[in-house]
Chains A and B, each alone.
Chain A
Amino acid sequence: MRRRVIPGFGLALGTTVLYLAAIVLLPLSALLLKASGIGLSQLIDILSSPRTLSAIRVTVTMAFAATMFNAVYGLLLAWALARYDFPGKRLLDGLVDVPFALPTAVAGLALTALFAKNGWFGRPLEAIGIPVAYTPLGIAIAMAFTSIPFVVRTVQPVIEDLGSDVEEAGRSLGASDLQILRRVIFPAIFPAFLAGCSLAFARSLGEFGAVIFIAGNQPMRTEIVALLTFIRLEEYNYQGAAAIATVMLLMAFVMLVITNSVQAWHLRYLARGED
């Protein structure tokens, strides 16, 4: 190892590790410790109960639906911001950050009011037979709202950095716009796009504030995993809460591994492009 010229390694590393241990690792270890004390048969009972399974199913399905929506909308939004000049572009760019900056409880409240029976959007939708508030569709909309920026902000810089040379080469070889889009542009942005989508999906799985207002929270129908954990706590059923929270933590870990490997792929892809 190279001799360190810059001082302060011990102090900085010590501070960082100590803080992470106290603020992040200690609580997460305590949760896993609690869950490990439950006993396997009881753990299986808790996790295989119809209500838990239904909550997991609703959460995963609706997170997937929200991610599909954001894949399309986010990609178009990133494309418009990276490729077009139009009045209000800066405003639109700022609006992308609204879901990050706006508290989830505020977002939940606003979306519920918008999509409720007598709301701005709820009334016309109800009239054509599509109720949104207090249905699984409402959950998907709340999840989509909170995770839009992930797709946009991951894909946007990659589209901006696309060199026009490959595109022009394709065109001079006689490729149509669609062919260039499919064979040249999409492969180049795909790793970033996938990374953004998996970030959005991961965020949707754990979302609480935005969802519980609009979901209606009916057990077996519109109850999400995060809410079920919360309810178990309020019932003083700490084992139940620990078991379900551990499942959520594991889902987060799996998504973290997936996202990191996709991002590593994305970085390798970028590095290859620079050769």
Chain B
Amino acid sequence: MAAANTGASGGRDPAIARADWIHTPVGGGPVARRAVLTIVLLLTAVFLIAPLALIVVTGLSSGLAVFWRNLTEPSTIHAVLLTLATALVVVPINILFGLAAAWTVSKFRFPGRTLLIALIELPYSVSPIVAGVAYLFVYGAQGLFGPFLEAHDIKIMFAVPAIFLVSLFVTAPYVARELIPLMQVQGTEEEEAAVTLGASGFATFWRVTLPNVKWAVVYGAILCNARVMGEFGAVSVVSGNIRGQTTTLPLQIELLYQDYNVVGAFTAATVLTAVALLTIVIKAVLERFGRVPHGST
């Protein structure tokens, strides 16, 4: 479509020139094109490129030695490890949930299916702060299970388990959202054929369904991972923010910033920015090879 606006039509047969004019897409002229691109590139430079550039520039502003010292500071190392541990727990669980949820709503028709899809998507529209507060009213001292947990000396709130739980909540839809539309399009014929030929349910899933959707799973898992590692609002409500114990990397950034250690804060931010950029690169690569639909988020 975009190739239609190449070159002028002067000097040719008027009939062809006229056809050319009809096929020129709206906004395909040089003036409109230049105006739109100028505005878009300018705004993108200001809003999307400048923040990234600033993080890297500030993080490295005091030199690599200081960057390294900030990075290897014990509380930052602890935050990195806790963030990695959260991702290691949450991402696999939500891959399994995403597969089960997508299998349920895309391979079967049953009453309440639309409601189930809405429920799967629900955490996506709930503010992370609300998620954190809601968990407090389940496992906190004031919550539903509070007295029971206290009596049995089980600590969930303001401890690591709460960080895992809210992270599960905020990223629950990530893998499912990638799988549901894809598996709906693929339909059930291949699975039905496999089952009819005598394959067990598990073999059908493992040998037929999973190979068809594996790149969408990878893609969903990568987005899920980025969100888990970066989640701030929900985690800051339930973590208790105990320095060196329940601070994930995003919380560590805020702590350092409040301590007026701006370079330290930006050092931690650089690590998370690297994770974000890696996520985008992997997403672009998967899209380029057509393994996931373009532009889906």
Contact present for A233 and B128 (CB under 8 Å) = no
A273 at the interface (CB under 8 A from B): no
Given A27-B137, A31-B137, A233-B237: A98 and B232 interface contact (C-beta under 8 Å): no
B interface: dominant SS: helix
B52 at the interface (CB under 8 A from A): yes
* B→A interface (CB under 8 Å): 1-4, 21-29, 32-33, 36-37, 39-41, 43-44, 46-52, 54-55, 58, 96-97, 100-101, 103-105, 107-110, 116, 118-120, 122-123, 125-131, 133-138, 142-144, 165, 168-169, 172, 188, 191-192, 195-196, 200-201, 204-205, 223, 226, 229-233, 236-237, 249-251, 253-254, 257, 262, 265-266, 269, 272-273, 275-277, 279-281, 283-284, 294-297
A241 at the interface (CB under 8 A from B): yes
Interface set, chain A 13-70, CB cutoff 8 A to B: 13, 15-17, 19-20, 23-28, 30-31, 33-34
Given A226-B127, A230-B236: A73 and B23 interface contact (C-beta under 8 Å): no
When distances are taken between beta carbons in the complex, the residues of chain B under 8 Å from A180 are 26
When distances are taken between beta carbons in the complex, the residues of chain B under 8 Å from A8 are 103, 201, 205
When distances are taken between beta carbons in the complex, the residues of chain B under 8 Å from A120 are 50, 54
A12 at the interface (CB under 8 A from B): yes
- Most chain B beta carbons < 10 A, residue from A16, A106, A157, A180: A106
- A100 to B47, alpha carbons, bound, how many Å? 14
A126 at the interface (CB under 8 A from B): no
A90 at the interface (CB under 8 A from B): yes
**Count the A-B residue pairs with Cβ separation under 8 angstroms: how many?**
302
In the complex, which of the residues A24, A102, A156, A208 contacts B233, with contact meaning CB atoms closer than 8 Å?
A: A208
The 19 listed contacts between A and B (C-beta, < 8 Å) are: A12-B101, A16-B105, A19-B101, A23-B172, A73-B47, A76-B39, A94-B284, A97-B280, A98-B280, A99-B48, A106-B55, A113-B266, A145-B48, A156-B295, A167-B26, A226-B127, A230-B236, A252-B125, A256-B118
Q: How far is the CB of B250 from chain A (nearest CB, A)?
A: 4
Contact present for A33 and B137 (CB under 8 Å) = yes
Given A97-B280, A245-B129: A109 and B257 interface contact (C-beta under 8 Å): yes
Q: How far is the CB of A138 from chain B (nearest CB, A)?
A: 13
Task: State the 8 A-B residue pairs at the shortest beta-carbon distance, nearest first.
Answer: A103-B230, A206-B127, A27-B134, A7-B201, A208-B233, A209-B232, A110-B51, A101-B276
When distances are taken between beta carbons in the complex, the residues of chain A under 8 Å from B47 are 73, 144-145, 148
- Beyond known contacts A105-B269, A150-B297: 12 more, CB 8 A cutoff: A7-B201, A16-B105, A80-B40, A101-B275, A105-B232, A106-B269, A113-B266, A114-B51, A153-B297, A206-B126, A208-B127, A256-B118
In the complex, which of the residues A9, A76, A111 contacts B36, with contact meaning CB atoms closer than 8 Å?
A: A76
- Most chain B beta carbons < 10 A, residue from A86, A101, A110: A101
A185 at the interface (CB under 8 A from B): yes
- A16 to B273, alpha carbons, bound, how many Å? 33
When distances are taken between beta carbons in the complex, the residues of chain B under 8 Å from A94 are 280-281, 283-284
When distances are taken between beta carbons in the complex, the residues of chain B under 8 Å from A16 are 97, 100-101, 104-105, 116, 120
Contact present for A15 and B2 (CB under 8 Å) = no
Contact present for B188 and A6 (CB under 8 Å) = yes
In the complex, which of the residues B2, B126, B142 contacts A238, with contact meaning CB atoms closer than 8 Å?
A: B142
A272 at the interface (CB under 8 A from B): no
- A156 to B204, alpha carbons, bound, how many Å? 36
Contact present for B134 and A110 (CB under 8 Å) = no
Contact present for B37 and A86 (CB under 8 Å) = yes
Q: How far is the CB of B84 from chain A (nearest CB, A)?
A: 14
Contact present for B54 and A113 (CB under 8 Å) = yes
In the complex, which of the residues A9, A177, A229 contacts B129, with contact meaning CB atoms closer than 8 Å?
A: A229
